[in-house]
């Protein structure tokens, strides 16, 4: 099709569909109203299991199977992207020489921020069942933090700190731990992904049953997976050259 | 609920957890020996098949229900997520696992795989399809839909040396992601109205509800999202691009079950959630029309191909159109017919893709014209290919023939008297295209074809294996034999169509689904349906389509010797075909534009009768 | 007050989303995408979703734009 | 204001599609796809919002009878964000490899698949 034909076809379809969408939205209960049936049940269930962050309770306790699926998507996408970004038959992977020239001050700032982000990431994971954050958010922060080394001008340092094979191991183990905890729930309480650990007292670090453990599993998987992803893209952009 | 039943229900979770754990093992243990990776992956697929089989046997009392995390429903509501294994869900899951085992067996040792990445992706693919087939929750279906999507994109583009594989993978990924996001938008609309996500809870929430724009929009969004995966016209463009270029073992799953899972999701959601609101006859009319268009487009495009895997891909579109027509009748016999047909099709099409893969790995090409006569030495591969083609056309006693006749009967009795003729024509044309290719390549029948005349995509492609195959390894032959077994089972073992018939009655009963999942109400009795086995009329129609397929194939091969009148008639069809072919442009912008137009079309078909 | 914040961030997201979708300058893609990510983060905070806002901050305004930037860079180095 | 958030969500969904249709660069098409997806985030969170309610995180000080916004849609959006990010990574990986094989990422010039 010509660009024009394509555009007209799209516009015709989209405008018809938009009419339906507008009619549909006018049938919604309005923005910010008070009726949320699932919410009422979910909050009660979270409090019952001593989980102060209800979003974590939904993600890891009540609808844990969704998160298992989500972690599998992450695992599959990372493995898939890594496989797609492997060097092709005629390509070469050569590491760049030297550290590049970066101002000392920038480098120092990079290292300081690195330390802070690593701490922040661990904190986010550890308190995921109490405060906003959790395995996913913390994992992303950890992985991005590690890549501040690149900003600090040290691609070789980054490459050393980043033995990709062990990150793959970590990713696999993190995902396996999540599924394994699910199976443990089946063995102990007779139901897959059942929250088998004691709930503890509401708001404590050791509360919410197995939610903190699941957070750690997800944190490890996400951190390792994101590192692998970014590493593969960096490799493509920096060290892999065509025939 | 007794402990034994509770134990069986936990198996539903294992059907998802076991392949995920297997995939984790493949990722965590780097440098896994090839033999270990192959055997562990195949063993996992077989284990999942055993689990599904066990569940299927225990669905006798109705449905096996699992509430994850032990969140059992209280007064008709649970904050948890359910898996519901009825005969259709568990049966489809079993078919998935069997096909996966065959695909892994085929790629045993020979398939060029990067470490164990291929195996990890295949196992996650298995987990995604299991979850989608068993899930009883709208959002959870979206998650597993995305899981099977994400790994499927990576598997499609796995041969990164191949430009068409990458482009096919990207079109597939963009279209399917778009479908998933639209479906999720629909889920959000339904949630806003009802405050529910579980299929059983939604069923109860919508009983007695009036149809309005919001519910129509939600239904259209969710259905179209799933129908993108099912490759309905005009959402089908990605399919040929992806199926033609994916590794042959992956194609078995793509054509055999992934596309059918899209249909399954669509029908399941309609029957359980939207049926109380949107009247059946309108839905039947809308989707019989859509299915018929899909079937015709698929068949016509199929006949015009010379790239054998692309040809098989278009034939899948044709057949899926027929499945949709039969499913849209919404009665147990239509649904059952579609299911028997789909099982037979999965086996036959899978075997054909693997035979095409053998050609690719031996000659580095899957081009019908280029390979003319070069397969003569491989008599058995050739015979298998021709038998597969005839099975596709509906040769008794293959399951395709039985399912087709059941579907035809149900459509005819639902008032679509023209449907049987369409079924015969579409299966004959697609069978004829495959038969034509098989006769030319393996038997050198007819005059050597003149290359490049038709302008269709030539069949150059990167092989799946390292180095050229010199003989067919035993593992590959075993995988192909197993798939022929799947194609036959529905037609020769009466238990299968009978069980499908009973399963279809449960599948069509959305109220019963909700009652059993939420309140342990045992499923009602099912009755034996008349006409679930071979009848004179069905056999006659099947033989007619096989005969028509043979005539068409020979006609295409000996085109130059046909009388002038016939050839002139054929030439008159050429311009129409050329327009249709040009619409399949490989351009992602076109595909999205068609997607939007299709969305509007489905909305009109569903919405206007309600006014 | 909260009404105004919600309305303003919604409008900002609407405009930035349109800009990302319709801009034809691949070099600036990473930047506009990152700004959209930040806009969404603010919107999620205004909608009382700090968990989602944190993810969006990490993914939408850091990891994703970084990958887009690297992809654009690689693509340009080839042509 | 009553429906504004939902309209923004629908707009993002459709404008993202338009972006793909008009795109001359696959990397840009992938970015446009993520705009579509942000439409679903906005919809879900808007559905679960409630005026004067706080975030569904009680910590150890907030009384448990305080009205909170819907945590379920937030959990769904969280999943959605993760899914979107990883799938986008996969898409970008494909776009990079396409650029290498075909020396272009303009859909108008790609020609590996026709008919």
In angstroms, the separation between the Cα of residue A218 and the nearest Cα of chain B is: 13
Task: Report yes or no on chains C and A touching (3+ CB pairs under 8 A).
Answer: yes
Block residue for tokens 């996969």: D90
Residue B326 confidence (pLDDT): 96
Partner residue opposite B146 with nearest CB, options D72, D83, D113: D83
In angstroms, the separation between the Cα of residue A17 and the nearest Cα of chain D is: 9
**What would the two tokens of residue B310 be?**
């692309």
What is the chain A residue with the closest CA to C66? A230
Mean pLDDT of chain B: 91
Q: Kindly tell me if the per-residue pLDDT of B5 is higher than 60.
A: no
Residue B362 confidence (pLDDT): 87
Between B317-331, B452-466, B537-551, C47-61, the lowest mean confidence (pLDDT) is in B452-466
What does the H/E/C string look like for B277-328? CCCHHHHHHHHHHHHHHHHHHHHHHHHCCCEHHHHHHHHHHHHHHHHHHHHH
Q: Check D58 against A53: CB less than 8 A apart.
A: yes
**What would the two tokens of residue B171 be?**
């079109």
As beta bridge partners, residue A240 has A93
Question: What kind of fold does domain D4-102 have according to CATH?
Answer: Helix Hairpins (1.10.287)
Q: Which of B70, B203, B57, B87 is nearest to B523 (CA)?
A: B87
Residue B4 confidence (pLDDT): 44
Domain assignment of residue C7, given as a range: 2-78
**What would the two tokens of residue A136 be?**
């996913």
Cβ B306 vs Cβ B454: under 8 Å: yes
Partner residue opposite A66 with nearest CB, options B77, B143, B195: B143
One-character DSSP codes across B493-548: -THHHHHHHHHHHHHT-HHHHHHHHHH-PPPPP--PPTT-S--HHHHHHHHHHHHH
Residues A166-204 have pLDDT tens digits of 888 999 999 999 999 999 988 888 888 888 787 777 777
Q: Does D112 touch chain B (CB under 8 A)?
A: yes
Residue B214 confidence (pLDDT): 94
Query: Band of the pLDDT at B15, cuts 50, 70, 90?
Result: very high
How many Cβ contacts (< 8 angstroms) between chains A and B? 243
Residue range A118-132: average pLDDT? 83
Cα D76 from Cα A182, distance rounded (Å): 20
Distinct helix (H) and strand (E) counts, chain D: 3, 0
Longest dimension (CA), chain C: 50
The backbone region for B528, taken as left when phi is positive above 0, alpha when psi lies in -120 to 50, beta otherwise, is beta
Q: Does A233 touch chain D (CB under 8 A)?
A: yes
How many independent structural domains does chain A possess? 1
Partner residue opposite B143 with nearest CB, options A38, A69, A190: A69
Residues C25-56 have pLDDT tens digits of 777 888 999 999 999 999 999 999 999 999 99
Residues B521-543 have pLDDT tens digits of 888 888 877 777 888 888 999 99
**Side-chain-facing half-sphere of B483: CA atoms under 13 Å:** 39
Q: How many other C-beta atoms are found inside a 10 Å radius of the C-beta of residue B217?
A: 26
Between A87-101, B18-32, B373-387, the lowest mean confidence (pLDDT) is in A87-101
| Chain A residues lying within 8 Å of C59, measured CB to CB | 140
Q: Does A41 touch chain D (CB under 8 A)?
A: no
Query: Band of the pLDDT at B378, cuts 50, 70, 90?
Result: confident
Interface of A with B in 153-192 (CB under 8 A): 165, 168-169, 171-173, 175-176, 179-180, 182-183, 185-186, 189-192
Q: What are the CA-CA distances from residue B325 to residues B232, B250, B284, B294, B330 (Å)?
A: 11, 26, 8, 10, 10
What stretches of A127-193 show up as alpha helix (H) in DSSP?
135-146, 148-151, 155-160, 164-189
Q: How many other C-beta atoms are found inside a 10 Å radius of the C-beta of residue C62?
A: 20
Residue A99 confidence (pLDDT): 47
Residues D46-70 have pLDDT tens digits of 999 999 888 998 877 788 888 899 9
Rg of chain D over CA atoms, in angstroms? Answer: 19
Q: Does D39 touch chain A (CB under 8 A)?
A: no
Q: Kindly tell me if the per-residue pLDDT of B425 is higher than 90.
A: yes
Q: Check B70 against A58: CB less than 8 A apart.
A: no
Residue A91 confidence (pLDDT): 74
Q: Kindly tell me if the per-residue pLDDT of B333 is higher than 70.
A: yes
Partner residue opposite D91 with nearest CB, options B174, B244, B457: B174
Block residue for tokens 């305080």: D66
Cβ A219 vs Cβ A125: under 8 Å: yes
Q: Would you list the domain boundaries of chain D?
A: 4-102
pLDDT above 70 covers a percentage of chain B that reads 96
Cα A89 from Cα B274, distance rounded (Å): 51
Q: With H, G, I as helix, E, B as strand and everything else as coil, classify residue A4.
A: helix
> If 0-12 CB within 10 Å is exposed, 13-18 middle and 19+ buried, where does residue A204 land?
middle
Cα B322 from Cα B548, distance rounded (Å): 18
Q: Which of the pair, A232 or D60, is modelled with greater confidence?
A: A232
Residue range B448-454: average pLDDT? 63
Q: Which residues contact C17 (CB under 8 A, 6 or more apart)?
A: C36, D11, D12, D15, D16, D35, D38, D39
Distance of CA D62 to the CA centre of its chain: 32
Cβ B109 vs Cβ B80: under 8 Å: no
Residues B110-156 have pLDDT tens digits of 666 666 789 999 999 999 999 999 999 999 999 999 999 999 999 99
Partner residue opposite A39 with nearest CB, options D64, D70, D87: D70
Q: How many other C-beta atoms are found inside a 10 Å radius of the C-beta of residue C2?
A: 12
Block residue for tokens 């603010």: C42
In angstroms, the separation between the Cα of residue A204 and the nearest Cα of chain B is: 22
Strand boundaries in B33-161, DSSP class E: 64-67, 82-85
Residue A156 confidence (pLDDT): 64
Residue B571 confidence (pLDDT): 85
Q: With H, G, I as helix, E, B as strand and everything else as coil, classify residue B71.
A: coil
Q: How many other C-beta atoms are found inside a 10 Å radius of the C-beta of residue B571?
A: 9
Q: Check D87 against A73: CB less than 8 A apart.
A: yes
Question: Is the peptide bond prior to B146 cis by the omega test (within 30 degrees of 0)?
Answer: no
Q: Does D67 touch chain A (CB under 8 A)?
A: yes
Q: Which residues contact A241 (CB under 8 A, 6 or more apart)?
A: A91, A92, A94
How many independent structural domains does chain C possess? 1
Q: Which residues contact C42 (CB under 8 A, 6 or more apart)?
A: C9, C12, C53
Cα A32 from Cα D6, distance rounded (Å): 11
Q: Kindly tell me if the per-residue pLDDT of B2 is higher than 50.
A: no
**Helices D71-102 and A211-238, interaxial angle, to 10°?**
20
Residue range B62-71: average pLDDT? 90
Q: Check C20 against D68: CB less than 8 A apart.
A: no
Long-range contacts of C37-40 (CB under 8 A, 24+ apart): C37/C61, C37/C62, C37/C64, C37/C65, C39/C9, C39/C12, C39/C13, C40/C13, C40/D38, C40/D41, C40/D42
Q: Which residues contact B109 (CB under 8 A, 6 or more apart)?
A: B34, B35, B38, B473, B475
Cα C53 from Cα D37, distance rounded (Å): 15
**What would the two tokens of residue B207 be?**
């009983």
Cα A88 from Cα D2, distance rounded (Å): 54
Q: Which of the pair, D59 or D106, is modelled with greater confidence?
A: D106
CB contact burial B57-77 (16+ within 10 A = b; e otherwise): ebbeebbbbbbbbbbebeeeb
Query: Band of the pLDDT at B3, cuts 50, 70, 90?
Result: very low
Q: Which of the pair, B586 or B596, is modelled with greater confidence?
A: B596
Cα B178 from Cα D14, distance rounded (Å): 11
Partner residue opposite B212 with nearest CB, options A27, A36, A192: A27
Partner residue opposite A137 with nearest CB, options C49, C58, C77: C58
Mean pLDDT of chain D: 90
Cα C16 from Cα C14, distance rounded (Å): 6
The DSSP symbol for A95 reads P
Residue D21 confidence (pLDDT): 94
Q: Which of B87, B82, B220, B129 is nearest to B500 (CA)?
A: B87
Query: Band of the pLDDT at C1, cuts 50, 70, 90?
Result: low
Distance of CA B216 to the CA centre of its chain: 26
Residue in A70, A93, A207, A243 to test binding to D, most D beta-carbons within 10 Å = A70
What is the chain B residue with the closest CA to D24? B589
Question: Is there a domain that residue A9 lies in?
Answer: no
Q: What are the CA-CA distances from residue B182 to residues B128, B253, B601, D9, D21 (Å)?
A: 19, 24, 15, 11, 16
Q: Which of the pair, B561 or B134, is modelled with greater confidence?
A: B134
Block residue for tokens 């887009």: C68
Q: Which of B122, B92, B127 is nearest to B108 (CA)?
A: B122
Residue D113 confidence (pLDDT): 60
The DSSP symbol for B212 reads -
Residue A234 confidence (pLDDT): 83
Q: Kindly tell me if the per-residue pLDDT of B6 is higher than 70.
A: no
What is the chain B residue with the closest CA to D114? B585
Compute φ and ψ for A43, nearest 5 degrees. Answer: -65, -45
Residues B214-223 have pLDDT tens digits of 999 999 999 9
Cα B454 from Cα B526, distance rounded (Å): 52
Residue D86 confidence (pLDDT): 92
Residues B487-508 have pLDDT tens digits of 999 889 888 888 898 899 999 9
Q: Check A70 against D83: CB less than 8 A apart.
A: yes
Residue B537 confidence (pLDDT): 87
Cα B433 from Cα B313, distance rounded (Å): 12
Residue range A119-140: average pLDDT? 84
pTM of the model: 0.95
Cα D14 from Cα D42, distance rounded (Å): 13
Q: Does C77 touch chain D (CB under 8 A)?
A: no
Q: Check A39 against D89: CB less than 8 A apart.
A: no
Query: Band of the pLDDT at A159, cuts 50, 70, 90?
Result: low
Residue range B69-75: average pLDDT? 90
Q: Check D81 against C63: CB less than 8 A apart.
A: no
Q: Would you list the domain boundaries of chain B?
A: 1-136, 279-492+530-561
Domain assignment of residue A124, given as a range: 36-241
**What would the two tokens of residue A101 be?**
């020239």
Residue B1 confidence (pLDDT): 39
Query: Band of the pLDDT at B455, cuts 50, 70, 90?
Result: low
ipTM of the complex: 0.94
């Amino acid at each position: 099709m010509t660009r024009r034909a394509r555009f007209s076809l799209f516009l015709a379809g989209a405008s018809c569909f938009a009419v339906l969408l507008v009619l549909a939205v006018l049938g919604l209960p309005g923005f910010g109203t008070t009726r949320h049936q699932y919410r009422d049940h979910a909050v009660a269930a979270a409090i019952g299991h001593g989980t102060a962050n209800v979003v974590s309770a939904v993600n890891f306790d009540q609808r844990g199977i969704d998160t298992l699926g989500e972690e599998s998507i992450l695992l599959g996408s990372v493995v898939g992207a890594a496989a797609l970004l492997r060097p092709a038959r005629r390509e070469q992977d050569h590491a760049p020489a030297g550290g590049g020239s970066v101002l000392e001050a920038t480098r120092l700032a990079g290292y300081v921020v690195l330390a802070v982000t690593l701490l922040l990431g661990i904190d986010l994971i550890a308190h995921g069942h109490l405060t906003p954050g959790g395995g996913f958010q913390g994992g992303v922060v950890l992985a991005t933090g590690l890549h501040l080394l690149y900003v600090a001008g040290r691609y070789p340092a980054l490459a050393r700190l980043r033995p990709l094979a062990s990150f793959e191991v970590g990713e696999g183990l993190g995902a396996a731990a999540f599924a394994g905890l699910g199976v443990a729930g089946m063995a102990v309480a007779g139901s897959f992904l059942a929250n088998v650990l004691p709930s503890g007292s509401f708001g404590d670090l050791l509360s919410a049953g197995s939610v903190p453990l699941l957070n750690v599993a997800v944190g490890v998987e996400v951190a390792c997976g994101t590192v692998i992803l970014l590493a593969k893209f960096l490799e493509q952009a920096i060290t892999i050259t065509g025939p | 609920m007794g402990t034994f039943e509770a134990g069986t229900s936990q198996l539903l979770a294992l059907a998802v957890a076991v392949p995920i754990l297997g995939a984790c093992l493949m990722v965590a243990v780097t440098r896994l020996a090839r033999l270990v990776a192959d055997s562990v992956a195949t063993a996992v697929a077989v284990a999942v098949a055993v689990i599904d089989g066990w569940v299927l046997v225990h669905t006798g009392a109705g449905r096996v229900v699992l509430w994850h995390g032990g969140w059992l429903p209280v007064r008709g509501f649970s904050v948890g997520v359910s898996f519901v294994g009825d005969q259709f869900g568990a049966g489809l899951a079993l078919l998935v696992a069997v096909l996966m085992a065959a695909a892994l067996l085929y790629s045993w040792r020979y398939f060029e795989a990067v470490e164990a990445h291929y195996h990890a992706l295949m196992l996650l693919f298995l987990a995604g399809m299991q979850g989608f087939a068993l899930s009883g929750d709208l959002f959870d279906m979206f998650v597993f839909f995305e899981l099977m999507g994400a790994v499927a994109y990576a598997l499609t583009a796995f041969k990164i040396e191949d430009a068409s594989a990458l482009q096919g993978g990207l079109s597939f990924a963009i279209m399917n992601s778009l479908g998933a996001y639209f479906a999720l938008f629909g889920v959000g609309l339904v949630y806003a109205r009802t405050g529910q996500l579980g299929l059983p809870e939604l069923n109860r929430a919508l009983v007695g509800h009036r149809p309005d724009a919001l519910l129509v929009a939600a239904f259209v969004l969710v259905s179209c999202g799933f129908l993108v995966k099912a490759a309905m016209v005009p959402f089908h463009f990605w399919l040929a691009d992806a199926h033609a270029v994916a590794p042959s073992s992956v194609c078995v799953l793509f054509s055999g079950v992934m596309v059918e899972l899209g249909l399954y999701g669509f029908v399941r959601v309609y029957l359980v959630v939207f049926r109380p609101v949107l009247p059946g006859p309108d839905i039947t009319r809308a989707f019989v029309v859509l299915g018929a268009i899909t079937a015709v487009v698929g068949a016509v495009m199929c006949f015009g191909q010379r790239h054998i895997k692309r040809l098989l891909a278009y034939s899948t579109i044709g057949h899926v159109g027929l499945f949709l027509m039969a499913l849209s009748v919404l009665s147990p016999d239509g649904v059952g017919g579609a299911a028997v047909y789909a099982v037979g099709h999965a086996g036959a099409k899978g075997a054909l893709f693997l035979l095409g893969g053998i050609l690719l790995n031996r000659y580095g090409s899957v081009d019908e014209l280029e390979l003319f006569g070069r397969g003569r030495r491989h008599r058995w591969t050739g015979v298998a290919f021709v038998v597969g083609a005839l099975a596709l056309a509906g040769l008794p006693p293959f399951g395709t023939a039985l399912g087709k006749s059941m579907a035809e009967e149900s459509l005819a009795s639902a008032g679509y008297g023209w449907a049987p003729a369409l079924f015969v024509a579409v299966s004959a044309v697609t069978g004829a295209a495959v038969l034509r290719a098989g006769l030319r390549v393996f038997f050198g029948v007819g005059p050597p074809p003149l290359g490049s005349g038709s302008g269709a995509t030539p069949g150059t492609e990167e092989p799946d294996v390292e180095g050229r195959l010199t003989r067919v390894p035993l593992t590959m032959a075993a995988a192909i034999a197993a798939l022929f077994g799947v194609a036959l089972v529905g037609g020769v073992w009466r238990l299968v169509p009978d069980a499908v018939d009973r399963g279809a009655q449960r599948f069509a009963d959305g109220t019963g689904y909700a009652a059993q999942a939420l309140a342990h109400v045992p499923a009602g009795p099912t009755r034996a349906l008349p006409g679930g086995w071979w009848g004179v009329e069905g056999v006659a129609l099947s033989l007619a389509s096989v005969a028509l397929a043979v005539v068409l194939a020979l006609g295409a091969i000996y085109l130059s010797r046909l009388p002038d009148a016939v050839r002139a008639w054929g030439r008159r069809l050429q311009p129409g075909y050329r327009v249709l072919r040009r619409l399949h442009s490989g351009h992602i912008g076109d595909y999205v534009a068609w997607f939007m137009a299709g969305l509007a079309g489905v909305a009109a078909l569903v919405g206007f009768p309600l006014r | 007050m909260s009404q105004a914040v919600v309305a303003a961030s919604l409008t900002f997201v609407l405009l930035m989303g349109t800009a990302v979708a319709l801009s034809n300058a691949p070099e600036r893609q990473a930047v506009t995408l990152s700004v959209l990510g930040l806009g969404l983060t603010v919107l999620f905070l205004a909608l009382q979703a700090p968990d989602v806002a944190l993810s969006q901050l990490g993914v939408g305004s850091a990891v994703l734009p970084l990958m887009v930037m690297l992809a654009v860079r690689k693509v340009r180095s080839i042509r | 204001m009553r429906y504004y958030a939902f309209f923004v969500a629908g707009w993002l969904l459709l404008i993202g599609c338009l972006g793909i249709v008009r795109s001359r660069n696959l990397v840009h098409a992938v970015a446009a796809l993520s705009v579509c997806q942000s439409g679903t985030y906005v919809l879900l969170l808007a559905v679960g919002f409630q005026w004067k309610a706080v975030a569904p995180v009680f910590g150890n000080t907030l009384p448990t009878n305080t009205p909170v916004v819907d945590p379920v849609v937030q959990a769904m959006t969280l999943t959605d964000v993760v899914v979107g990010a990883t799938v986008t990574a996969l898409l970008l990986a494909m776009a990079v490899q396409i650029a290498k094989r075909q020396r272009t990422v303009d859909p108008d010039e790609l020609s590996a698949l026709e008919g």
